[in-house]
Amino acid sequence: MTDWDISTLPAAIAGLRDRAQELQDYPGRLHVHEVTPRDLLGAPKFSPAMWRHLTGSIHASHPVSEERICPLRHDTADCPRCGGLGTYTATRDVYTRPLARALVKLSHAKSKVQPHPLVIIAGLLAEGFSIERTAMRYGVIIMSADQRKTEEARILSAIRALRNRYEETVLGPAPKWTELSEAQQNAEDAA
């Protein structure tokens, strides 16, 4: 997946829309509670079944292989990483449901502003990313261009809060320097 650009609202929404594909396997509708004033203080925003579905999968990961350009400076077939080919195959573990993981993390975030960002994200997902209908979910009816700007800024900052918690790659402990071969140690030193 390419980087999630959050510099503008259209880009931020496009990134969320792409990543929301992972929620498609949920058997029910992407049901979200109707928001009442009480909900704005941090009550659950997804239906209980949906939330169980999300939280049940956040630690799942799987390996993916990818071709990488060899970073070592070498002109012999002795290169410990690529054998002189210039590229090598690396495997990394990625989260199977990175968006669910980010949503659950966001749900734990304390928010000084209301509504909680999770209310806004849940609204976007349930309302097909419509600004107007998402705002209505948290009780704002957009009547003017100024008001639309205010709500767009609020929605963008909610997506940024989600993006800050979104990770695709599982970061395991880095190998200890002493576990590398001598050639790798030299390469790490030169890097």
Q: Which residues of the shown chain bind Zn ion in the complex (CB under 5 A)?
A: 70, 72, 74, 79, 81-82
Least gap, CB of 67 to Zn ion (angstroms): 13
- Residue that is written with structure tokens 């963008």 in the block: 156
Q: DSSP letter string over the chain?
A: ------SSHHHHHHHHHHHGGGGTT-SS---BPPP-GGGGGT---B-HHHHHHHHTTTT-EEEEEEEEE--S---STT-TTTTTSSEEEEEEEEESSHHHHHHHHHHT---SSSS-HHHHHHHHHHTTT-HHHHHHHTT----SHHHHHHHHHHHHHHHHHHHTT---B---PPPPGGGS-HHHHHHHHH-
For Zn ion, the closer of residues 3 and 78 by Cβ is: 78
Nearest CA-CA partner of 121 in 145, 105, 142, 141: 105
**153, HSE (Cβ side, Cα atoms, 13 Å):** 7
Least gap, CB of 180 to Zn ion (angstroms): 14
For Zn ion, the closer of residues 79 and 158 by Cβ is: 79
Least gap, CB of 71 to Zn ion (angstroms): 8
Least gap, CB of 79 to Zn ion (angstroms): 3
Least gap, CB of 188 to Zn ion (angstroms): 13
For Zn ion, the closer of residues 72 and 109 by Cβ is: 72
Least gap, CB of 184 to Zn ion (angstroms): 11
For Zn ion, the closer of residues 34 and 78 by Cβ is: 78
For Zn ion, the closer of residues 29 and 73 by Cβ is: 73
For Zn ion, the closer of residues 23 and 72 by Cβ is: 72
